[in-house]
Amino acid sequence: MLYGRSAEQGVIDRLLSDSRSGRSGTLLIRGEPGIGKTALLDYAATAAEGLRMIRGTGVESEAELPFAGLHLLLRPVLDQVGALPEHQERALRAAFGLASVEAGDRLLVGLAVLSLLSELAEDGPLLVLVDDAQWLDRASTDALLFAARRLDAEGVVLIFAAREPFTAPGVPELPVKGLDVASAAALLNTAAGTSVAINPAVRYRLLAEARGNPLALIELPAAAPSDGTALPLTSRVQDAFLSQVRVLPEATQGLLAVAAAEDTGDLDVVLRAAAGFGDFLEDLHPAERAGLVLVDAGTMTFRHPLVRAAVYQGIPPSLRLAVHKALAEALDRPDDADRRAWHLAMSATGPDEEVAAELERTAVRASDRSGYAAAATAYERAARLSARPESRARRLTLAADHWVHHGDPVPERVAIAERRGRAGPAGGGRQPARTGSGLRDRTGRRAGPGGRRDRDVAGRREPRPGQHRGAADAALLPRRDRALPRTAPGRADHRHRGPGHRAGHGARALGQPDERLPGLSRRGGG
Ligand SMILES: Nc1ncnc2c1ncn2[C@@H]1O[C@H](COP(=O)(O)OP(=O)(O)O)[C@@H](O)[C@H]1O
Ligand SMILES: [Mg+2]
């Protein structure tokens, strides 16, 4: 069942119905990995019930073998080549290495493909599906496109699916974008099923980071720990998004790794930190050309949050510490204190009271700006870095209080904090929901305008395992978006929930091999 693709299905339906009245049509379904291109081809195959169909796919490892893709596609119908004009038949056989003729004219192969498709459509419409066309060898692509551009009244439908930036001049494009929020939320519900409890904070982050990408929506919930903090990628998602990065020069991969760890996209900071690894601005160009990052006015952004996440997760854990350390050193302006604190925390290898104290100052600043989630996250991390049990307990208590004010499902969080810290707030038996006023008591600050709403949220919080709010909380997105501060503490918050936790869960869970980013490992990972 496809969510939110009625427009795309409509385009396919029209092509199919045209073919039933003898008209040919072509289409290139284009989009990022996991967006649902293959799913749309599957839909075409199902909708074409009763039609003759051939289906092929580009294979990454065969991208250099001339005509390998075409051979795979046409193999089931090669017994029909006898019906082609002789020189075309010979050209095709030669292309496939079936005849000992010298490789013929490539145009002739294209012509042979056109003739063969027309021949196959003699008895009724024909559907040709070519998936992952970005991995077709050049010769196959040329032949297929040659035929595609000349199809007319044969009743042939030829649909390609490919990742960006594949293009097929002369073939109409159907760009496939992320699902709309309601469809994404519906898919997330189905995908999470009843096996995984998704609390609202996790849901929010899943929907925000997936950007409507079905693969991410299906895969990420299973990987997201129920404490609502981490969002590690599964290897399937990571591979999908890393594949484009891995073909880039080593230095480019290194620079991207630094950029992925500094997700505010501050180009100046990224470059200064990357310089320590021997990577410079020029190294960014291949990534720009590949459309993986955009550079604009001193900021660089990853094309998709999942590209950044995949790159970050691909950094060998040992090197990740060095990357965060370099970033902390590059963040030397007074305004950067919060970000510096987080990078220091991320590069700490054990308890470190100095870093914990910096983080605590970050937490206080965040709290001052009503950034309760950011403050709570910073207190939690500070607790983990605390050298003394009393400091740890005190910081955990402050974290719990701030979570209450943020309106998060606190009992779960506190339980987790307790398990992590082994020194839960007030001995751990307390009902954290009642500690809301404690925030004011302890910090001497007012609860802030969110107080009432926090109580409302707290009143109906804590989804039980398997309980989801459905599409309704998709409507909450913009508001929650605002609730998560975007200022410095907000970034810290985001960072912590992203890379920071991934550092803790993702790489280990995935058992990442350490040679993912050879550029960085070579230079900096020693
Ligand atoms: N609109 C959709 N509704 C539900 N599931 C979808 C939808 N689009 C894709 N999927 C599922 O998401 C996953 C990734 O889709 P896929 O078609 O393989 O992506 P692509 O081919 O673009 O990389 C698959 O499991 C697919 O079944
Ligand atoms: Mg696919």
Q: Which ligand 1 atom minimizes the distance to the CA of 33?
A: 23
- CATH topology (fold) of 6-175: Rossmann fold (3.40.50)
How do strand 25-31 and strand 52-57 relate by DSSP bridges? Answer: unpaired
Task: Confirm or reject: Cβ of 30 under 6 Å from ligand 1.
Answer: no
Q: What separation in angstroms does the CA of 33 have from each of 30, 126, 221, 236?
A: 10, 27, 18, 10
How far, in whole angstroms, is CA 391 from its chain's centroid?
37
Output the pLDDT for position 309.
84
Cβ neighbours, 10 Å, residue 235: 17
Per-residue model confidence (pLDDT) at position 368: 87
**What residue spans define the domains of the chain?**
6-175, 235-524
The pLDDT value recorded for residue 237 is 82
Contacts of 68 by beta carbon, 8 Å cutoff, 6+ apart: 59, 62, 137, 140
Cα 56 to averaged position of ligand 1 atoms, centre (Å): 18
Residue 215, ligand 1, Cβ within 6 A: yes
Query: How many whole angstroms separate alpha carbon 442 and alpha carbon 444?
Result: 6
- The packing angle between helices 410-421 and 372-385, to 10°, is 20
The predicted structure's pLDDT at residue 20: 95
Cα 237 to averaged position of ligand 2 atoms, centre (Å): 12
CA of 106 to the centre of ligand 2 (A): 28
Alpha helices in 262-409 (DSSP H): 267-275, 285-289, 305-314, 317-330, 337-347, 353-368, 372-385, 389-406
Tokens of 187: 């898919």
Task: For the chain, list residues with pLDDT below 50.
Answer: 195, 228-230, 421-526
pLDDT at 306: 82
pLDDT of res. 454: 31
Pocket flag, ligand 1, residue 56 (CB < 6 Å):
no
Our answer on whether the CB atom of 5 is closer than 6 Å to any ligand 1 atom is: yes
Q: Whose CA is nearest to atom 20 of ligand 1?
A: 34
How far apart, in whole angstroms, are the C-alpha atoms of residue 399 and residue 381?
A: 9
Kindly state the tokens that stand for 120: 């196959």
Nearest-CA residue for ligand 1 atom 27 is: 39
Q: Is the CB of 15 under 6 A from ligand 1?
A: no
Which ligand is nearest to the Cα of residue 31, counting in written order? 1
Instruction: Say what the pLDDT of residue 200 is.
Output: 76
- Count helices and strands (H / E) in the chain: 27, 7
Q: Which helix (H) or strand (E) holds 53?
A: strand 52-57
Contact by Cβ (8 Å): 398, 366? no
pLDDT at residue number 108 = 92
Q: Is the dihedral of CA 421, 427, 428, 433 positive or negative?
A: negative
For 280-307, write each residue's pLDDT tens digit.
Answer: 999 999 999 988 899 988 889 998 888 8
Residue-level pLDDT at 395: 96
Alpha helices (H) along 75-232: 86-95, 106-120, 138-150, 181-192, 200-210, 214-223
What pLDDT, on the 0 to 100 scale, is given for residue 101? Answer: 55
Verify whether ligand 1 is closer than 6 Å to residue 241 (CB atom): no
Q: For residue 193, count CB atoms less than 10 angstroms from its CB and return exposed for 0-12, middle for 13-18, buried for 19 or more.
A: exposed
